[in-house]
A and B are shown apart, each in its own frame.
Chain A
């Protein structure tokens, strides 16, 4: 009953996939045309990754079929998907660091002559594959030494080298700088011109509006709709994704700044140059900057996680000498790291263990080295209730929770005792809108209770939506102090790129007071 529609290169029909009885995908259909960029949008857990995994063959759907170039193929394996021209650039990099670029490009597709590897031919082929997307790298370089952006480009080169006419990009810009993102967009639009069909997954609405021809929105494993990207508004997309509108996403409260609780003066280190700023009780202050600008390092240095060779950190007027996490917490500062898995959580433990560990360490649910289990249980229920952790199952392994709920478990460390200063580092990366609103509500609550809140974020919308004041950071320096009317996207972005002339002429950007 499906006619071979003109230009459609791939069609997924009524795909259903269950995990442990829960439907991750529920009868989702999707089609991709030759030479189009088709964005796939949805909150975490909406089913985007399951859908692309089915299309790339790394999971097999329970129901439904995949049709490529008019051939009905049913469920795919990684090998059969690749054979039919599906190339996937996964979020978790699928390159082997110990091998060279050329070896990775040809991995599992090695060229042989007389049974032995034909290294010269592969080297030449790899060079060509890199040149085709305009990447200037020596194919003999070990992949381990490349930047994330370079790795991504190598993956794209590999996928295209294998004659893929369907390219799947899973959040390709998540960790790229702006310049690298521009470069990637150029490459992607170029590929579109050449007739390649591209499935593009991203959380960033601006990217989708800029790149995509069509957008398909998923929510809770179901398809909400496919619309043309031309002229679509953020409001419309957010509404489709979440059923709520954009203003409700950032529930900013009024600032009632009191006495200064955190004062950083002249902080310097390998990545920081003479950083000074202050945050008062009852305000949320943003540290904004591009990825790699040093904004995260500022928070980390205050908490003793980055080396410092000068400057002071004061909490409630008391100098924090030789910052270390233990000393910082004792004096009243708490830092929530950006990398939940590497630094935020004990990934082998349960929700309860993760919630109680900080307070056991702080001595609130332990005494003389003995853990007070009853206090721990009480604390756990308190956190689950206060932060709306779902599901409310303290015994479940932390990895069994969505990213948003893992983030909430991470925030539980603030319950160990009352902290006057809270530093949030990229608190909403990779979590869905529902959990985001819960995190924002918690930040607001802390602020209302008189804490000083620092928000470090690469998400300009978020930092403008939540902060009362913003310090812009570039190359390890605080380059602008924005407040009041100056809080708009133009000023922030201008500070990111450091056109000093512009900031002088506009007259709206203060130079850092210490400069």
Chain B
């Protein structure tokens, strides 16, 4: 019971909270005082806290350890995919194919596991490697086409997504692939360390590695440079082509990792898995202050964006908000986040 109190206290001094974007120097003036205060503090922590308080007060089950594990597990998938999407958003591109990447990964890895047969580590290893290879291939194709031919990633990834989804349907004949090794479904799908699901541990490891990549390596610095000013970056010798391809490859490969974890969770290879993650990952990344226009984005804020969406959907499920209504809420949030991004850029210029 300490956590909600903690959160409550923090909400009384929001200026200490994380910011949605960078600090603005523009003084609050006139009618835009509230708006600029929100822009400074960031809407997201406020929304997250409000969500937690509201759900906890309506539905006591929200704060139980069991639900905590639930949220943790749901978070792990979205967190990985959102961080993956963020890499591509930072280079001022977008990946609309993450949903289909999950589907194809699920089908391919399941097929490989079932074909290999047995119940030991061998089929699992083969399946996981095959799944990651799917992501690698999709990312390579997306990245090379976008970087080489300078075509909008929006279109390229919608196209490649359609191809991947089609392949998933062909390979699976449209139905789930069952009979996956027990080792796979229990170890990856259901085990946990203490009360923390294994998948969340994996997501947090990915978080750590990406944090290092983005903030402490040249590759990460080049992502921001390419997204913030591609021509400028090229002129000073930043390997623009390589950076773009790398961002897409990392994005799709990480998405495949999430796809494998999801497959283990549902215990079958599903060609219809993952479709909702396109809008969810973009919404979470943009809510977390990743600029839709490239060059800006903080991994920790993106993680909070993912957490917010998971808490929101979990809470709305618990208080029985229909999934139809949830769609509406999600759409409104996504558009608001982009509008706020735009406003923020205007006030900081």
A residues apposed to B, CB below 8 Å: 58, 78-79, 82, 88, 90, 92-99, 103, 107-110, 112, 115-117, 119, 142, 144-145, 158
Q: A96-B229, A117-B217 are in contact. List 15 more A-B contacts (CB 8 A).
A: A88-B235, A93-B232, A94-B229, A94-B232, A95-B232, A96-B224, A97-B228, A98-B225, A99-B228, A99-B295, A107-B233, A108-B225, A108-B236, A119-B216, A142-B22
Minimal Cβ-Cβ distance residue in A for B234? A78
B57 within 8 A of A: no
Q: Contact at B233–A90, with CB atoms within 8 Å?
A: no
Sort A-B residue pairs by CB-CB distance and give the 9 closest, nearest first.
Answer: A98-B228, A98-B295, A96-B229, A108-B237, A96-B228, A94-B235, A94-B232, A116-B216, A108-B238
B221 within 8 A of A: yes
Q: Contact at A115–B224, with CB atoms within 8 Å?
A: no
B218 within 8 A of A: yes
Q: Contact at A112–B218, with CB atoms within 8 Å?
A: yes
- Across the interface, which residues of A come within 8 angstroms of B295, CB to CB? 96-99
- Across the interface, which residues of A come within 8 angstroms of B348, CB to CB? 144-145
B296 within 8 A of A: yes
B231 within 8 A of A: yes
B222-249 vs A, Cβ < 8 Å mask (1 yes, 0 no):
1011011101111111100000000000
B212 within 8 A of A: yes
B320 within 8 A of A: no
Residue from the set A96, A99, A108, A112 with the largest chain B CB neighbour count within 10 Å: A96
Give Cα A334–Cα B216 distance, bound, in whole angstroms: 54
Q: Given that A95-B229, A97-B228, A98-B227 are known contacts, is A117 also in contact with B218, CB under 8 Å in the complex?
A: yes
Give Cα A102–Cα B303 distance, bound, in whole angstroms: 27
Contacts A/B (CB < 8 Å), 28 sampled: A58-B235, A78-B234, A78-B237, A79-B237, A92-B231, A94-B235, A95-B232, A96-B224, A96-B229, A96-B232, A96-B233, A96-B295, A98-B224, A98-B225, A98-B294, A99-B221, A99-B224, A99-B225, A107-B233, A108-B222, A108-B233, A109-B237, A110-B218, A116-B216, A116-B217, A144-B348, A145-B25, A158-B236
Q: Contact at A82–B218, with CB atoms within 8 Å?
A: no
Minimal Cβ-Cβ distance residue in A for B232? A94
Give Cα A79–Cα B236 distance, bound, in whole angstroms: 8
User: Which parts of B225-277 form the interface with A (CB within 8 Å)?
Assistant: 225, 227-229, 231-238
Residue from the set B236, B237, B296 with the largest chain A CB neighbour count within 10 Å: B236
Q: Contact at B235–A98, with CB atoms within 8 Å?
A: no
Give Cα A350–Cα B277 distance, bound, in whole angstroms: 42
B349 within 8 A of A: yes
Minimal Cβ-Cβ distance residue in B for A108? B237
Q: Give the distance to chain A from B74, nearest Cβ to Cβ, in Å.
A: 32
Q: Given that A116-B216, A117-B218, A142-B22 are known contacts, is A107 also in contact with B228, CB under 8 Å in the complex?
A: no
Q: Given that A97-B229, A98-B295 are known contacts, is A110 also in contact with B237, CB under 8 Å in the complex?
A: no
Give Cα A92–Cα B224 distance, bound, in whole angstroms: 19
B residues apposed to A, CB below 8 Å: 22, 25, 212, 215-218, 221-222, 224-225, 227-229, 231-238, 294-296, 348-349
- Across the interface, which residues of B come within 8 angstroms of A145, CB to CB? 25, 348
Q: Given that A103-B221, A116-B212, A117-B217 are known contacts, is A98 also in contact with B232, CB under 8 Å in the complex?
A: no
Q: Give the distance to chain B from A56, nearest Cβ to Cβ, in Å.
A: 9
The secondary structure that dominates the B interface is helix
Q: Give the distance to chain A from B81, nearest Cβ to Cβ, in Å.
A: 24
Residue from the set B231, B232, B348 with the largest chain A CB neighbour count within 10 Å: B232
Give Cα A79–Cα B234 distance, bound, in whole angstroms: 10
Give Cα A79–Cα B240 distance, bound, in whole angstroms: 13
Give Cα A109–Cα B221 distance, bound, in whole angstroms: 11
Minimal Cβ-Cβ distance residue in A for B22? A142
Q: How many A-B residue pairs have CB under 8 A?
A: 75
Residue from the set B212, B221, B228, B235 with the largest chain A CB neighbour count within 10 Å: B235
Q: Give the distance to chain A from B278, nearest Cβ to Cβ, in Å.
A: 25
Q: Given that A96-B232, A98-B227, A142-B22 are known contacts, is A107 also in contact with B217, CB under 8 Å in the complex?
A: no
Q: Contact at A96–B225, with CB atoms within 8 Å?
A: yes
Q: Contact at A107–B227, with CB atoms within 8 Å?
A: no
- Across the interface, which residues of A come within 8 angstroms of B236, CB to CB? 78, 94, 107-108, 158
Q: Given that A96-B225, A98-B295, A144-B349 are known contacts, is A90 also in contact with B235, CB under 8 Å in the complex?
A: yes
- Across the interface, which residues of B come within 8 angstroms of A96, CB to CB? 224-225, 228-229, 232-233, 295
Given A82, A112, A117, which contacts B237 in the complex, CB threshold below 8 Å? A82
Q: Contact at B228–A115, with CB atoms within 8 Å?
A: no
Given A93, A98, A109, which contacts B296 in the complex, CB threshold below 8 Å? A98
Q: Give the distance to chain A from B291, nearest Cβ to Cβ, in Å.
A: 8
Give Cα A487–Cα B206 distance, bound, in whole angstroms: 70
Q: Give the distance to chain A from B26, nearest Cβ to Cβ, in Å.
A: 11
Q: Give the distance to chain B from A163, nearest Cβ to Cβ, in Å.
A: 15
- Across the interface, which residues of B come within 8 angstroms of A103, CB to CB? 221, 224-225
- Across the interface, which residues of A come within 8 angstroms of B237, CB to CB? 78-79, 82, 108-109
Q: Contact at A107–B225, with CB atoms within 8 Å?
A: yes
Q: Given that A96-B229, A99-B228 are known contacts, is A110 also in contact with B235, CB under 8 Å in the complex?
A: no
- Across the interface, which residues of B come within 8 angstroms of A158, CB to CB? 236
Give Cα A94–Cα B235 distance, bound, in whole angstroms: 7
Q: Give the distance to chain B from A476, nearest Cβ to Cβ, in Å.
A: 20
- Across the interface, which residues of A come within 8 angstroms of B25, CB to CB? 145
Q: Give the distance to chain B from A58, nearest Cβ to Cβ, in Å.
A: 7
Q: Give the distance to chain A from B139, nearest Cβ to Cβ, in Å.
A: 23
Minimal Cβ-Cβ distance residue in A for B225? A96
Give Cα A107–Cα B234 distance, bound, in whole angstroms: 10
Give Cα A144–Cα B215 distance, bound, in whole angstroms: 19
- Across the interface, which residues of A come within 8 angstroms of B231, CB to CB? 92, 94
- Across the interface, which residues of A come within 8 angstroms of B238, CB to CB? 107-108
Give Cα A99–Cα B217 distance, bound, in whole angstroms: 14
- Across the interface, which residues of A come within 8 angstroms of B225, CB to CB? 96, 98-99, 103, 107-108
Give Cα A317–Cα B227 distance, bound, in whole angstroms: 52
Q: Contact at A117–B229, with CB atoms within 8 Å?
A: no
Give Cα A158–Cα B232 distance, bound, in whole angstroms: 13
